[in-house]
Chain A
Amino acid sequence: MTTAKDAEERFAYGSVLEALSRGLYPDKRHVIREFVQNSYDSIYDLRKKHASELVQPIQISIQPPSILIADHGLGMSQSEVRQYRYLGYSQKERAKHGGFRGIGKYSGLAIAEKIIVDTSPLGVPERYRIIIHADKMMTESAQGRNRPLETVLEEHTEVSSAPAKAEEHYTFVELHHLSREAKSLLDAEVLRAYLAKTAPVPLDPAFGYAKQIERRLRENVPDFLAVNLSIDGEEVYKPYFANCREPEFDPVLYRDDQPAVLAYSWYCQNSEKGQFQLKDLAGLVFRVKNIAVGDGQLARGMLWNSTPERAFYFFGEIHVLDAQVTPSSDRTAFEDNAARERLAGRCLRISSNLNRKAGEESAQRRFDEVLDKGVEIVSRREGQVQARDLPLELKDQAVYEVTKLQEDLQKRLKGPRTPAAVNRAKRLMGRTRRFLSALNRESDGFLDLRTELKFDTKLRALYDCVVEVLREEFADDPDRLERIIRRIHQHAREKLKT
Chain B
Amino acid sequence: MIRSPQRFTRNKDTVRTLQRETIERCLAPRLGRLRYFGLPSSALADAIAWQDLFEKFYAVERGVKGKEWELQHDLGLEAFRAGLLGKISLLRGDIDLLIRRKRDEFGNRVPFPFDVVSLDYSGGLFYKNRRGNFTRLQAIAALVAHQGAKRSDFVLLISCNLDQIDQGEVRRTLENVRTELVRYGANGEQVVDAYLGHELEEARLKVYVPHFVNQEAAKNRYSCDTQQVIMYEGNLKTRMMAFRFVLSHDTRTESLRSPRERLSQVFNKPVLGVVGGEPKETTLGLPKLTVPEVPRTG
Contact = CB atoms under 8 A, between A and B. Distances in A.
A172 B87 CA distance: 16
B4 interface: yes
Contacts of B1: 160
Given A61-B76, A233-B86, A114 B81 contact: no
B97 interface: no
Contacts, number: 53
B7 to A, nearest CB: 14
Given A59-B86, A61-B88, A233-B86, A116 B69 contact: yes
Contacts of A61: 76, 79-80, 85-86, 88
A41 interface: no
Interface in A54-85: 59, 61, 63-66, 68, 70
Nearest to B80: A70
B76 A68 contact: yes
Contact of A230 (B86, B88, B90, B106): B86
Most chain B beta carbons < 10 A, residue from A61, A129, A168, A170: A61
B69 A172 contact: no
Contact of A64 (B80, B85, B108): B108
A63 B4 contact: no
B2 A129 contact: yes
A217 to B, nearest CB: 27
A33 interface: no
A161 interface: yes
A234 B79 CA distance: 16
B73 interface: yes
Contact of A174 (B4, B76, B87): B76
Contact of B87 (A66, A160, A168, A233): A233
A63 B91 CA distance: 8
Interface in A312-358: none
A127 interface: yes
Nearest to B4: A162
Interface string A2-18: 00000000000000000
Q: In which size bucket is the chain B interface? A: 10 to 19
Contacts of B106: 64-65
Interface in B75-109: 76-77, 79-81, 85-90, 106-108
A63 B73 CA distance: 10
Contacts of A170: 80-81
A118 interface: yes
Instruction: Name A's interface SS.
Output: strand
Contacts of B89: 63
Contacts of B2: 118, 127, 129, 160-162
Contacts of A232: 86
A68 B86 contact: no
A118 B90 CA distance: 18
A177 interface: yes
Interface in A88-130: 114, 116, 118, 127, 129
Contacts of A197: none
Contacts of A63: 76, 88-90
A68 B85 contact: yes
Contact of B76 (A64, A114, A160, A172): A172
B80 A59 contact: yes
Nearest to A116: B73
Contacts of A66: 76
Contacts of A174: 73, 76
A234 B89 CA distance: 14
Nearest to A231: B86
Contacts of A114: 69
A380 to B, nearest CB: 62
Contacts of A161: 2
B210 to A, nearest CB: 35
Nearest to B75: A63
Contact of B69 (A70, A127, A129, A177): A177
A168 B81 contact: yes
A63 B86 CA distance: 11
Contacts of B80: 59, 61, 68, 70, 170, 172
A341 to B, nearest CB: 44
A233 B108 CA distance: 19
A127 B78 CA distance: 13
A231 B52 CA distance: 20
B74 to A, nearest CB: 9
A230 B69 CA distance: 24
Interface of A: 59, 61, 63-66, 68, 70, 114, 116, 118, 127, 129, 160-162, 168, 170, 172, 174, 176-177, 230, 232-234
12 contacts: A61-B86, A63-B88, A64-B106, A64-B107, A68-B76, A68-B85, A162-B2, A168-B81, A170-B80, A170-B81, A232-B86, A233-B87
Q: Which 4 A-B pairs have the closest CB atoms?
A: A233-B86, A162-B2, A63-B90, A70-B80
Interface of B: 1-2, 4, 69, 73, 76-77, 79-81, 85-90, 106-108
Given A59-B86, A61-B76, 4 more contacts: A68-B76, A129-B2, A174-B73, A177-B69
